[in-house]
Structure 1
């Protein structure tokens, strides 16, 4: 039986390619009073860079994926203790999508985690948005890589049985209204 909060509708994932406005949306939802998780990838890159670690996507993709898995599972456990809806800035299936994007095998334990730690059956996905895409110290992907990441997330979440809801391109406020109307 999958591990989840009392109601599967409580854990809502927002995913997509880099630079498509996911975190900005989740930040705004948090300011509106919702609980949220922090994105694993960016935080791990910042921490690994600060300590000279090797768990960086451009240095050791498998180790980076393992740290993301640990982060996501810990975020899930923390969320279980929070009341109401919790928005996740990516979820466990993102790790599957990342590994496949990198041409790496998905270890059995990562697949098991994606099948066990379940979220709301409808996942919000932010489509590529070249007009707002920006590279920075942690986001090194090209716009083409961002589009391939989006496609990989579509494939991963679909494979694990989630229904994808495409976020509209629009202001943050419009996206917040859209998400709130979709989750009730």
Structure 2
């Protein structure tokens, strides 16, 4: 399980969600970013699990959402593209709390062996109501993921800084080579 689950992650504000939208438009199954969904819910609720209020609670909630997303996606065929996911949430929890259960949790719920990484791209980075952290914080997150992915047995594939259409072509071509 997990070979058709493709993780798209990287530097916050690097175009992951835009790429996910393009892949959806091309007819692929996609799973929205857990963090943005959680922030939206928390802004409407008690606001306790916001990343700028309680990063550990936010990361724990993101792990729960990522696991539920994976369970729901098991019934889907073909490629399923995840805008961030379990690895992001687990590595964030580890960074905040030192909870070393990351490796066991991620090993039990694998993604495709190639993980697509959006590199830091300050020219397109922007904050909004759900992304309040600055570029430097996103860069730290990116560095953490670059270190975590190979340690978890994944090959990190850097997305080119190009148009969203060309990025989608790159992802799909890379995956088609895996299926030969």
Which one of 70, 77, 80 corresponds to residue 74 of structure 2? 80
Could you tell me how far apart the structure 2 residues matched to 1:80 and 1:99 are? 25
* Aligned partners of 2:103 and 2:152 also within 8 Å: no
Could you tell me how far apart the structure 2 residues matched to 1:181 and 1:111 are? 29
* Aligned partners of 1:94 and 1:156 also within 8 Å: no
Could you tell me how far apart the structure 1 residues matched to 2:73 and 2:90 are? 21
Task: Give the CA RMSD over aligned residues.
Answer: 1.3
Which one of 31, 54, 62 corresponds to residue 25 of structure 2? 31
Q: 2:171: which partner in 1?
A: 179
Could you tell me how far apart the structure 2 residues matched to 1:26 and 1:129 are? 17
1:36 shift after superposition = 0.8
Could you tell me how far apart the structure 1 residues matched to 2:85 and 2:150 are? 13
Structure 2 alignment gaps of length 5 or more: none
Q: 1:98: which partner in 2?
A: 92
1:62 shift after superposition = 1.5
1:112 shift after superposition = 2.5
* Aligned partners of 1:101 and 1:149 also within 8 Å: no
1:85 shift after superposition = 0.6
Point out the more displaced range, 71-80 or 52-61: 52-61
Q: 1:67: which partner in 2?
A: 61
Q: 1:49: which partner in 2?
A: 43
Q: 1:116: which partner in 2?
A: 108
Counterpart secondary structure, 2:6: strand
Could you tell me how far apart the structure 2 residues matched to 1:78 and 1:165 are? 26
1:101 shift after superposition = 4.0
Could you tell me how far apart the structure 2 residues matched to 1:171 and 1:101 are? 32
Could you tell me how far apart the structure 2 residues matched to 1:95 and 1:74 are? 13
